[in-house]
């Protein structure tokens, strides 16, 4: 049975059951990734940025006595800006029986009714999801490479030299939890540097370029159990933020952190800022998060300077991470034609 589901009011047993399915999928598709924990998982699924909505459905087993059983599938659509971003999951035991298609049909129909014309999805290379979305008519729009750095392989002596290798006139500052409020204006100005870069991606995880949106975004991260760490490069003469790097440690998988934005403002490039900020970040993470074992990052294949620095730090390219998109009306039409969206 597929039904709409609200993680805010779901029972603890349902949250646990969903976690089991998430971890079964990881074990099947990405065995080297850490298993997730039930730590702020409800908040992770429920909390959104102001102006965004996430609508979820689950597929639940029906037991012989009619009581609801395990959650074997889940889909949600995050409605943001002009795009619906979906995330879908089917327990490995129940794959290739049409459940994934049924879940997508629920999300697609609602997205269409809400007036959105585009659906986007992040699809992990070398997993069944590639064949699944291509069979549904989604087109590949953008590809990044995911790379992973194992802290156990880091050469800390060389890293210390990298952290100190920043040109004079700049200093690094570390802010666990996010930049202080009085720095948000300068921080937002630095982030705006990447706003107008049209690199062809679908903007499925938009960055925040104004102070209020940044504030909202930091608050949303905290509510979802995701702790941000920031290293800033400050240009001492002007007080401007010359560069920033952001890493988030999620309560759901605290042994593997996620690299978010790294930006060096154009006028400040060529002074060793990228390398120094990231090296300093690794020292700070090692001290602040004793359980942390790995950091993962995603880079466009064209971003050669950043790939080079990441390789020097010890990141190893692991697999493609793709963005797929589809016109919602066409998707609903296609699913209707196969009878899947029929109520
Ligand atoms: C992707 C996923 C949701 C598919 O669920 P599913 O229930 O197995 O999918 P369906 O049975 O509805 O498959 C529909 C069609 O997709 C295609 N498809 C599904 N799995 C496929 C695979 N492993 N290889 C090639 N094509 C595949 C087929 O055309 C299939 O139709 P068919 O079985 O009649 O040939 C499931 O594999 C999964 O949970 N993966 C992990 C989570 C994930 O990566 N999600 C995507 C990112 S949000």
| The two structure tokens encoding residue 188 | 């937002």
Answer whether 322 contacts ligand 1 (Cβ < 6 A).
no
Please tell me the predicted confidence (pLDDT) of residue 107. 98
Please tell me the predicted confidence (pLDDT) of residue 65. 87
Among positive and negative, which fits the CA dihedral 60, 65, 67, 70?
A: negative
SS3 189: helix
| The two structure tokens encoding residue 46 | 């429920």
Q: What CA–CA distance (Å, rounded) separates 139 from 146?
A: 20
Please tell me the predicted confidence (pLDDT) of residue 94. 97
Please tell me the predicted confidence (pLDDT) of residue 320. 97
> Which positions of the chain have pLDDT values less than 50?
342
The residues, any chain, with a CB within 8 Å of residue 125's CB and separated by 6 or more, are 143, 319, 320, 321, 322
Answer whether 121 contacts ligand 1 (Cβ < 6 A).
yes
Query: How many whole angstroms from 135 Cα to the centroid of ligand 1?
Result: 9
Query: How many whole angstroms from 191 Cα to the centroid of ligand 1?
Result: 37
Query: How many whole angstroms from 136 Cα to the centroid of ligand 1?
Result: 9
Whole-number CA gyration radius for the chain? 21
Reported as a single tens digit per residue, the pLDDT across 204-223 is 777 777 899 999 999 999 99
- Token pair 């395990």 in the structure block, residue: 70
Contact between 99 and 72 under an 8 Å Cβ cutoff? The reply is yes
- Token pair 């942390």 in the structure block, residue: 292
Reported as a single tens digit per residue, the pLDDT across 65-84 is 878 899 999 999 999 989 99
Please tell me the predicted confidence (pLDDT) of residue 196. 60
- Closest residue by Cα to atom 36, ligand 1, is 90
Query: How many whole angstroms from 100 Cα to the centroid of ligand 1?
Result: 6
Answer whether 90 contacts ligand 1 (Cβ < 6 A).
yes
- Token pair 């986007």 in the structure block, residue: 120
Answer whether 129 contacts ligand 1 (Cβ < 6 A).
yes
The number of the ligand 1 atom at minimal distance from the alpha carbon of 133 is 16
The pTM assigned to this predicted structure is 0.95
Average pLDDT over all residues of the chain: 94
């Amino acid at each position: 049975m597929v039904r709409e589901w609200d993680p805010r009011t779901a029972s603890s047993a349902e949250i646990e059951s969903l976690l089991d399915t998430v971890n079964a999928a990881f074990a099947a598709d990405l065995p080297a990734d850490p298993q997730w924990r039930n730590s702020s998982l409800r908040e992770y699924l429920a909390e959104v940025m102001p102006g965004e909505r996430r609508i979820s459905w689950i597929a639940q087993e029906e037991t012989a006595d009619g009581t609801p059983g395990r959650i074997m599938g889940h889909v949600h659509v995050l409605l943001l800006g002009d795009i619906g971003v979906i995330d879908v999951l089917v327990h490995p035991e129940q794959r290739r029986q049409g459940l994934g298609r049924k879940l997508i049909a629920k999300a697609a129909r609602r997205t269409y009714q809400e007036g959105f014309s585009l659906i986007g999805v992040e699809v992990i290379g070398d997993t069944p999801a590639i064949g699944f979305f291509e069979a549904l008519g989604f087109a590949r729009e953008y590809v990044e490479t995911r790379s992973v750095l194992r802290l156990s392989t880091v050469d800390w002596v060389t890293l210390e030299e990298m952290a100190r290798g920043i040109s004079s006139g700049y200093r690094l500052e570390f802010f666990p939890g996010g930049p202080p409020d009085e720095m948000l204006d300068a921080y937002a100005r630095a982030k705006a540097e990447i706003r107008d870069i049209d690199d062809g991606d679908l903007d499925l995880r938009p960055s925040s370029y104004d102070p209020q949106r940044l504030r909202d975004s930091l608050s949303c991260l905290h509510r979802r159990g995701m702790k941000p760490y920031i290293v800033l490069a400050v240009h001492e003469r002007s007080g401007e933020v010359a560069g920033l790097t952001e890493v988030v440690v999620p309560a759901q998988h605290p042994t593997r952190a996620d690299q978010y934005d790294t930006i060096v403002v154009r006028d400040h490039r060529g002074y060793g800022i990228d390398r120094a900020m990231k090296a300093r970040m690794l020292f700070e993470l090692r001290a602040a998060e004793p359980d942390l074992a790995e950091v993962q990052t995603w880079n466009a294949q064209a971003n050669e300077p950043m790939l080079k620095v990441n390789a020097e730090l010890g990141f190893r390219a692991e697999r493609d991470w793709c963005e797929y998109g589809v016109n919602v009306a066409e998707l609903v039409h296609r699913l209707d034609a196969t009878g899947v969206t029929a109520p």
